[in-house]
Structure 1
Amino acid sequence: MGALIEINTDGLAKLGETICYGIGLAAFGRKKMANAEAYAAIKQAETETKVEFLKLKGQEEIAKYISARESRKINNVKSVVEKATSHFMEEEKVSNEPVNTNWTNRFFSIVEDISDETLQDIWGRILAGEVKQPNSFSLRTLDLLRNVTKEEAELFVKASKYYVEKNFICTEEFALSLHETLLLGETGFINSEELTKEWNIEPNSKLEIIIDRNTLIILHNDTNKKVWCQPSVKKLSKAGIEILSLVEKTDRNKFYKILTQFFKSNGVSRVFKHEIVEYGENCSYKSIGEELFG
């Protein structure tokens, strides 16, 4: 049985220790090998004991079923751990705080039953994130995700393209359909209450909106009338915010274009997008910008 993870960074070392502690073994220690005996061999031994006992009782069919089921669980865990290792870099520093044992136990009990590769990738990201910085993902988030289907996860990835101001998802018709919005609410990713953002610009002035940590939108009102922009939004749940950190940053140019069309349809004269490259005191910033055209 090959190595589950070979330790060559602080992050992978801690990942190995987390696996060992999670199943009741002493830590292997940093810069050593944490291999499949850490998880898979113990589970295999437990399974073989059950199988042999059932065979002695003449329950061959049940023994085969248990053997196949446990083998599948072991392979699921190995796949998730392998995906987690890809999210550590050489010489990457991680928190010295250990991962909570209750969290580890809950995590592995869940991923034993996760066989879809897309979902395994999400769980691998969660494991890596928690190892790097414990308490990043709550037990409630783990329990929410265990019931999420591949299609629901893909919908959340789609919705993540439309997030604004850290914890809101635009639910205007140009972003998500009513069906999609309701489904995200049912899964627990967003809160059900309908909210309205108020981005209103005084006459002959401008308004700055921090869309996310790296993007600033500036709305210019060159008229003598106040411009009202009030898109419908939903607030991400705590679990939704935690999971949003897992989503790879995708190209949001289409969203910016549609958002620009929305602003201009409401009377905004010009729209500029700026990349925030430095934060200073009182949230000041240096930026590089470009005008957007819907």
Structure 2
Amino acid sequence: MKTTYVEEEESLQDLWAKLLARESASPETFSMGTLETVKLMSKDDAAIFSQLTKCMSSYNNKVFLFNQEDLYEKYGITYENLMRIEELGLICISPFLSLKIKFPEAERAAIYTKEALTSHKANG
């Protein structure tokens, strides 16, 4: 039988327990693929993803990852980290779906989806 990281790491066991409890309370909250990915994540993968969530925003039930090097640097996220999390299937990186627009006093990220072009003030 294959051992998963969840079985080896107590902190991941806690996360797994919370996910399963939420899934039990509200079925189909998470896809089977998401649950399988979390089950197989290493402690390092979980730590990277946790930091990466600090660079995300949600709008209209969609989650957006800001493409800002200063945020990544602030939270210790490298290109290799992004590639690893994309490899796990937790994010999808596409350089064609984001655009940075700089204003004199603030920086906003303009994000295009099939539904709309949205603008968000950058966190920082």
Answering whether residue 19 of structure 2 is matched by residue 123 of structure 1, we say no
**Residue of structure 2 in register with 1:170 after alignment:** 66
Deviation at 1:144, TM superposition (A): 1.5
Q: RCO higher in 1 or 2 (8 Å CA, sep ≥ 6)? A: 2
**Residue of structure 2 in register with 1:148 after alignment:** 41
The alpha-carbon distance between structure 1 residues 137 and 230, as it changes in their structure 2 partners (threshold 3 A), is closer
Answering whether residue 74 of structure 2 is matched by residue 181 of structure 1, we say no
Q: Which runs of 4+ in 1 moved over 2 A?
A: 197-201, 227-231
Gaps of 5+ in 1: 1-68, 70-108, 202-220, 236-254, 259-294
Could you say what secondary structure the match of 2:65 adopts? strand
Q: Is the 8 A contact 2:49 2:85 kept in 1?
A: yes
Q: Is the 8 A contact 1:163 1:169 kept in 2?
A: yes
Between the two proteins, what is the percent identity of the paired residues? 22
How big is the alpha-carbon RMSD for the aligned residues of Structure 1 and Structure 2? Answer: 3.5
**Residue of structure 2 in register with 1:114 after alignment:** 7
Write the distance in 1 (CA, Å) between the matches of 2:83 and 2:9: 24
Could you say what secondary structure the match of 1:168 adopts? strand
Could you say what secondary structure the match of 2:92 adopts? coil
Deviation digits for residues 175-220 of structure 1 (CA, Å, limit 9, x no counterpart): 223222212111211013223146687xxxxxxxxxxxxxxxxxxx
Deviation at 1:228, TM superposition (A): 7.6
Deviation at 1:134, TM superposition (A): 0.8
The one of 177, 182, 193 aligned to 2:94: 193
The TM-score, its normalising length taken from structure 2, stands at 0.66
The alpha-carbon distance between structure 1 residues 155 and 228, as it changes in their structure 2 partners (threshold 3 A), is closer
Amino acid at match of 2:68: E
Amino acid at match of 1:141: T
The TM-score, its normalising length taken from structure 1, stands at 0.30
Count of aligned pairs between the two proteins = 105
**Residue of structure 2 in register with 1:241 after alignment:** none
Deviation at 1:174, TM superposition (A): 1.1
Q: Is the 8 A contact 2:37 2:88 kept in 1?
A: yes
Amino acid at match of 2:54: K
Amino acid at match of 1:118: S
The alpha-carbon distance between structure 1 residues 131 and 228, as it changes in their structure 2 partners (threshold 3 A), is closer
Write the distance in 1 (CA, Å) between the matches of 2:86 and 2:28: 24
Write the distance in 1 (CA, Å) between the matches of 2:107 and 2:51: 27
Deviation digits for residues 93-115 of structure 1 (CA, Å, limit 9, x no counterpart): xxxxxxxxxxxxxxxx987x612
Deviation at 1:125, TM superposition (A): 0.8
Write the distance in 2 (CA, Å) between the matches of 1:168 and 1:230: 10
